[in-house]
Amino acid sequence: MPRICPTIAILLALLLPLPAHAEKARKPVPPQPASTYACNETHERVTIAAEPGDTKETRPDTRLDYYSHGLLPIRVIVTNDTDKPVTLDDARIHFVTAANAVLPAATLDDLQRRMFTLKGATGKKVPLPLPIPIPITTGKKNVDKKILDDDTDFGFQTTTVAPHATVAGYLYYDMQDIDPPVLNNATLELRKVRFANSDSFLDSFEIPLHPSANAPTTTK
């Protein structure tokens, strides 16, 4: 049989489509009633807790490492002990620093801008021994899809909390410009939480945050 030139063999290997491997969904740890968490507050038999992801044990098993990119995950747990559904449709959930800086939760676009890099977009260049008309790259990171998959698996599955039920989801807050330790004297504020069939809002939840046990002294 005729021998194939090594250069051609490399090109063929790069151009052949790779088999698709669908990644399995990841499951967060089931939430406990909000009153069982260290950081919580109750109004009208609705309890909301916040669990900062400042340790490996309290961070979600996401596909991307948001924490190392300056994004602090905080799990928000809502327990409704009433006989009426509660809605988070209008809720505003802000991280308030010790210096009273108010930070909204990062949007998916915010996460993409932080995590998406030129290297991830273009892949790794492969040196070739001869010129070719189009660039060939390998190792492309599908960052945007991973962010969407993480949101599907670890974000809020619903904004309605049924009577006598608990829902939870992770939000991310940009800590890059905050002086460490970022959790000292910080607060998670939730405003405009209401019962589903009412136009009146519950009192604002102002949950004092504390570093988790064994947390590092800084988040930078």
Instruction: Quote the mean pLDDT of the chain.
Output: 84
User: Residue written as tokens 């909204």?
Assistant: 104
Domains of the chain: 24-110+144-208 (2.60.40.4110)
pLDDT tens digit string along 76-132? 999 999 999 999 999 999 999 999 999 999 999 999 999 875 444 444 444 444 444
**Is the model's pLDDT at 134 over the cut of 80?**
no
**Pairing relation of β-strands 86-87 and 71-80?**
unpaired
pLDDT at position 1 is 47
pLDDT interval class at 212 (50, 70, 90): confident
Residue 3 is predicted with a pLDDT of 54
- CA–CA dist 108, 157 (Å, integer): 15
**What integer pLDDT is reported at residue 218 of this predicted model?**
42
- pTM for this entry: 0.78
Task: Identify the three-state secondary structure at position 64.
Answer: coil
**Is the model's pLDDT at 33 over the cut of 90?**
yes
User: Which is more confidently placed, 135 or 205?
Assistant: 205
Q: What is the pLDDT of residue 116?
A: 75
Query: What is the pLDDT confidence band of residue 6, given thresholds at 50, 70 and 90?
Result: low
CA distance 208 to 158: 25
User: What is the C-alpha to C-alpha distance for residues 108 and 172, in angstroms, rounded to an integer?
Assistant: 10
Give the mean model confidence (pLDDT) for residues 48-69. 96
**Of 136, 151, 137, 144, which is closest to residue 117 (Cα–Cα)?**
144
